[in-house]
């Protein structure tokens, strides 16, 4: 049987980082085994649905070079791929479970359930539905339905013994059945719960491997009991460790953590994001950090997924992103970085703009960083800090160096980078200055700061008029 995995997000807006990492693992499991990657939309919570979210998901996966084999926008033979379009299917299977004695109608009102919760609080025990509606007679059930009473359908859980979950990452996980609540399968509005819809859809869509966060591991016995009730074979489970923020909490869109599009709009390359995220909780056999998507597909082994939580580190992501930016061809880099340059360049030539952007290619961590880095070329006035003023007065050779630069530059007819490099050599010969005494005085005088790009490039981009004025 062909390997089939599914990515099943809720349509609630941009995709957050933890969700994207799960999608990457699902994609790699499928493609490493020559299988299919399915997109299914879990919209059972209609209150959180965001218009256009399906397109967000498609666009994100496309940017990350993860092609969807089947989904809402490219349906295969297992559709529909949106849960709200499958309500009749869930109803049919929920009612079949009732007929077979694996589920029951529950007519308990909100008030009744609240009373149960208060009683549990008073006893200092966790709330768990007590199963009272499972004892209703067939006649009582028919009468309540006839009277229009609202109901849900609950799964009838065993109260004794154990359930064992076989997981690729965590091995065999044993859970006592008595702690499993009679979970709701079908809500009173006709929508399925997340757990029930997943089981029905995964079976009907031929999903062979289910990859998800390890916070769902404790719920998995309920899934397996449903599979047993239906007489279906359970999929292979791969529960992956959580991604934690620097504060030790799980990354979450609800907590305001960055989404993929937040990072993309900041100037992080999708390939760098994918490369970084796949290494959060997975390690390759070889000591390799940078991967193309094809290399990841070839190398990925789900047995090398860690059990321990991974910590999301923006500095490490920036390191990856810098490597990917550096590896871009010059024309690709210019196309990528130009939208992030917001300074007014209407009076600049294309050659000047491209030169400015290219000198920072090997130093950028992310796209938006370019604006701050190039500030020195757009400031009409410069401010020299007290520390730098002290440096300019720290050695008697410094005024001589500055005067030598001013003289050489004033006599320069052809303003090219090559000629400016020669100017530096001449100043060195004239003054005997070297190291920071040769470079820092002129940097401070022309830009106000002691560091920057290569000095000939910096001089060339600031321009002869401004350089001469500032040296004077």
Residues whose CB falls within 8 Å of the CB of residue 230, separated by 6 or more in sequence, listed in order: 93, 97, 199, 203
- Sheet containing 4-7: give its strands across: 36-39, 4-7, 209-213, 236-240, 162-167, 171-176
Q: Tell me which residues are annotated as active site.
A: 253
375-411 per-residue burial string, b: 16 or more CB within 10 A, e: under 16:
ebbeeeeeeeeeebeebeeeeeebebbbebbbebbee
Helix, strand, or coil (residue 250): strand
Of the candidates 187, 214, 211, which has an alpha carbon nearest to the alpha carbon of residue 47? 187
Compute the distance between CA of residue 324 and CA of residue 362 in angstroms, rounded to an integer.
10
Compute the distance between CA of residue 321 and CA of residue 261 in angstroms, rounded to an integer.
15
Q: For residue 193, what is the DSSP state?
A: P
Q: Which long-range contacts (CB under 8 A, 24 or more apart) does 232-236 make?
A: 232/203, 235/202, 235/207, 235/208, 235/209, 235/210, 236/168, 236/208, 236/209, 236/210
């Amino acid at each position: 049987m062909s390997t089939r995995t599914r990515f099943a997000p809720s349509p609630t807006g941009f995709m957050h980082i933890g969700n994207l990492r799960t999608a990457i693992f699902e994609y790699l499991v499928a493609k490493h085994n020559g299988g299919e990657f399915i997109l299914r939309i879990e919209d059972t919570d209609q209150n959180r649905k965001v218009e256009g979210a399906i397109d967000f998901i498609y666009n994100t996966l496309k940017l990350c070079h993860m092609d969807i084999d089947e989904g809402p926008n490219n349906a295969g033979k297992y559709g529909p791929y949106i849960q709200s379009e499958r309500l009749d299917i869930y109803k049919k299977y929920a009612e079949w479970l009732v007929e077979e004695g694996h589920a029951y109608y529950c007519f308990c009102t909100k008030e009744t359930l609240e009373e149960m919760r208060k009683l549990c609080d008073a006893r200092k025990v966790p709330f768990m539905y007590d199963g009272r509606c499972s004892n209703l007679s067939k006649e009582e059930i028919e009468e309540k339905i006839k009277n229009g009473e609202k109901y849900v359908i609950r799964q009838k859980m065993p109260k004794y013994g154990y359930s064992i979950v076989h997981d690729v990452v965590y091995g065999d996980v044993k859970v006592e059945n008595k702690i499993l609540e009679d979970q709701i399968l079908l809500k009173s509005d006709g929508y399925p719960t997340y757990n029930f819809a997943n089981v029905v859809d995964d079976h009907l869509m031929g999903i062979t491997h289910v990859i998800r966060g390890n916070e769902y591991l404790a719920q998995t016995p309920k899934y397996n009991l449903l599979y047993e009730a239906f007489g279906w074979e359970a999929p292979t489970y791969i529960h992956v460790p959580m991604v934690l923020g620097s504060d030790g909490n799980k990354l979450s869109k609800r907590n305001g953590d960055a989404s993929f599009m937040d990072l993309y709009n900041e100037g992080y390359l999708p390939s760098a994001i994918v490369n970084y995220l796949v290494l959060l909780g997975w390690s390759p056999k070889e000591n390799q950090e940078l991967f193309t998507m094809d290399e990841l597909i070839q190398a990925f082994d789900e047995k090398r997924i860690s059990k321990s939580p991974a910590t999301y580190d923006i500095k490490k992501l920036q390191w990856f992103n810098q490597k990917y930016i550096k590896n871009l061809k010059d024309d690709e880099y210019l196309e990528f970085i130009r939208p992030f340059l917001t300074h007014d360049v209407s009076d600049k030539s294309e050659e000047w703009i491209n030169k400015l952007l290219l000198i920072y290619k090997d130093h950028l961590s992310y796209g938006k960083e370019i604006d701050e880095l190039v500030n020195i070329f757009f400031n009409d006035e410069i401010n020299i800090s007290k520390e730098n003023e002290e440096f300019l007065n720290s050695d008697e050779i410094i005024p001589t160096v500055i005067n030598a630069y001013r003289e050489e530059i004033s006599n320069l007819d052809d303003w090219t980078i090559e000629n400016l490099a020669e100017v530096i050599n001449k100043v060195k010969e004239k003054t005997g200055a070297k190291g920071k005494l040769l470079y820092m005085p002129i940097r401070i005088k022309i830009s106000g700061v002691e560091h920057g790009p290569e000095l000939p490039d910096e001089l060339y981009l600031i321009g002869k008029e401004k350089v001469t004025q500032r040296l004077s």
